[in-house]
Amino acid sequence: MRRTAVLGSAGTLIAGTLMVGAIAAPVANADNRDHGWSEARGAQVAADRAAKQGINWTDCPADWAIAKPIQCGYVSVPLDYSRPNGKQIKLAVDRIGNTGTKAERQGALIYNPGGPGGSGMRFPTRVTTKNPLWTNTSKAYDFVGFDPRGVGHSTPISCVDPQEYAKAPKADPVPSSEADKRAQRKLAAEYADGCAERSGWMLPYMTTPNTARDLDVIRAALGEKKLNYLGVSYGTYLGAVYGTLFPSHVRRMIVDSVVNPDQDNIWYQANLEQDVAFQARWNEWEDWVAKYDSKFHLGTTRAQVEAQWLKLRADAKKSPLDGKVGPAELLGYFQKAPYYDSYWVPVAKALSAYAAGDIKPVVAASAPDMSDIAGNIASENGNAVYTAVECADAKWPTSWRKWDRDNTKLNKDYPFLTWSNAWMNLPCATWSTKQQNPVEVKTGKGLPQVLIVQSTNDAATPFQGAVELHKAFKNSRLVIEKGAGSHGVTGLVNPCINSRVDDYLLTGKTDKADYTCTPHATPVP
């Protein structure tokens, strides 16, 4: 399940004067065997080159739908950091300058929303839309977004024709027979083959460590001596890897809704743990719906609300709603409730309408729009990048017996997401390119205090991830929203969280100890 939030030969090191990109050599050591000296040297070469070249900022292309005064540009990075003077790929970036005075400016704040596969190009619009939650920060920082390698306006990858990808209804992710499982295994293998056929030249290099190296090249191209970074969801793992490979390059770093960075967790185990957390959060939503039975008329207990969901699922499996909404499409919409409690009311209303005989709200929310060509291209691309990065980042089980055993067992108690998540990741079992060893995330020399923000009931990135990163980054500070479960809490509705993010970005200061915030209120329909 994607973790995304709504916020030639190796060259020689450039000699001579110390440039912005060359503040310190990136880290390589025996503990990170797939992330060694050739890549570290290549990252230094690329950053030094980018610091010299800078970025040619212009108005954004019309079809990017990013309006003035935001500016856009490209940064070139090596496809393969062990060959920094070899083939280059493009990274799309955009920015808006700080709104305060020159004296108030503290640098550029770079954002990644997660995924893998998410675009950060909307980040500067938080300034142009005058979002009050970002007023103080935007006075001090340029807001910078980027499309990571493989994503969107950067050199993109693809695994299947986007219109084919968008077609619905898709097969029910919950198998009713061994034949259903064989069909899903065939689809997963075909998807992996499609990735190799359409984008095989990039797949070996679609890794989180390479994206972290890209991030350092962007830092240098911006003219920044050190990085200010906000990463949400998968963006926290990108930040953790960056902080490990480039500890002395970090100035300020906030990681919000944290992927467990333990090497044994990346990525197979992470997805199993996600299934458990999604079930708990789904049940939390059901309890809330039951509390407001007078509004939704779906029952006064969790079991009664679950029965309404299962009836909708069964009806859509028997006869897809409006010919295009089956169980897979339903899950695509209804899983938003465990992600964000801002969806609790609309999801409940859609289920309530269906129970009362009106299918229109469910269809409108769940059905794909085949006429939205740009949207379908973006969706297919996002899924391709997700798959490519997770498959390349770590070694995955190749035995179907293990996948089947683990997910069959898990599905008995945690059925909401388990099989859907399994099929989404199963292409990694037959992936065509090398799968590396994950980075050992650790505190390196020069790493400053990192601010970790997390809600305890997060479904997409379970709470233990924040605990593990807090242990790995020994000087970090952890701020918890206890009892809440929205994914990506920075800039949402809790002033306790937002004030601490502001203080850290503006002053570098944090609480003297880890801090627990009371949760924001749940929605009232």
Residue 141: CA atoms inside 13 Å, Cβ hemisphere, count? 28
- The values of phi and psi at residue 3, to 5°, are -110, 85
Q: Which of 138, 154, 158, 233 is catalytic?
A: 233
Tell me the C-alpha to C-alpha distance, in Å, between residue 501 and each of 6, 93, 519: 17, 24, 16
Strand-pairing partners, residue 110, are: 144, 229
458 is catalytic: yes
Residue written as tokens 């920075």?
490
Tell me the C-alpha to C-alpha distance, in Å, between residue 262 and each of 29, 61, 271, 457, 458: 17, 40, 13, 20, 18
Contact 32, 439 (CB under 8 A): yes
487 is catalytic: yes
Cα 170 to the center of its chain, rounded Å: 24
- Strand locations in 62-203 (E): 71-78, 88-96, 107-112, 114-115, 141-146
Cis previous bond, 209, omega within 30: no
What residue type is assigned to position 124 of the chain?
Answer: P
Q: Which ranges constitute the DSSP H helices of 266-301? A: 268-291, 293-296
Q: Which of 458, 476, 486, 502 is catalytic?
A: 458
Q: Any residues with CB less than 8 A from the CB of 147 and at least 6 apart, and which?
A: 91, 92, 93, 119, 120, 121, 153, 154
**Residues with catalytic roles:** 233, 458, 487
